[in-house]
Amino acid sequence: MKHLKKFIKLSWKIKLLLLGSLCLLGIVRLAILIIPFRYLTLFMGRKMVESPNEISSRQLLRALKVGWSVNKVSNFTPWESKCLVRAFTTQIILRLLTIPSTLYLGIAKTNVDQLHAHAWLRCGNCMITGASEREKFKSVAHFSVVPFLFDPKQH
């Protein structure tokens, strides 16, 4: 009930962002469960290409808001919303906002020779999702989305 009261007090823009994040988290989770991973990577962007490290302050602020929204909502989903779901969801929203980003996939060995995987998302020079864990993992693949912006001067 406490969370509902907080939600009601939010601006309509933040409510829309949170609800959109919730819906997309569900869609992404379902896609991860039913679509083979090699096909999912086709939607993650250009493989082994980095997005720019410099973006506008406005883009960075929007990316941080999106990351906050996805991370916040993922704590309340009835389904599992771990790092890959969060990073991919955030990347999709940033793509819709024409903000470049790079999704990283990493692995690490545990003490008992098991592999653990992690995903995180970078936008500009800032980690948007998965930042707290990423230092433990070695990046094995990354996918960038650099949205095409139509520039009438070039056409």
- Could you give the CA distance from residue 111 to residue 114 in angstroms, rounded to a whole number? 7
Whole-Å CA distances, 14 to 7, 70, 131, 144: 9, 12, 23, 26
Digitized pLDDT (tens) for each residue of the chain, 155 residues in all: 787 888 889 899 999 999 999 999 999 999 999 999 999 999 999 999 999 999 999 999 999 999 999 999 999 999 999 999 999 999 999 999 999 999 999 999 888 889 999 999 999 999 999 999 899 999 999 999 987 653 434 33
With 0.85 as the threshold, say if the pTM is over it.
Answer: yes
User: By C-alpha distance, which of 96, 105, 94 is closest to 128?
Assistant: 94
Query: In terms of Cα–Cα distance, which of 139, 149, 116, 147 is closest to 45?
Result: 147
Domain extents for the chain? Answer: 7-147
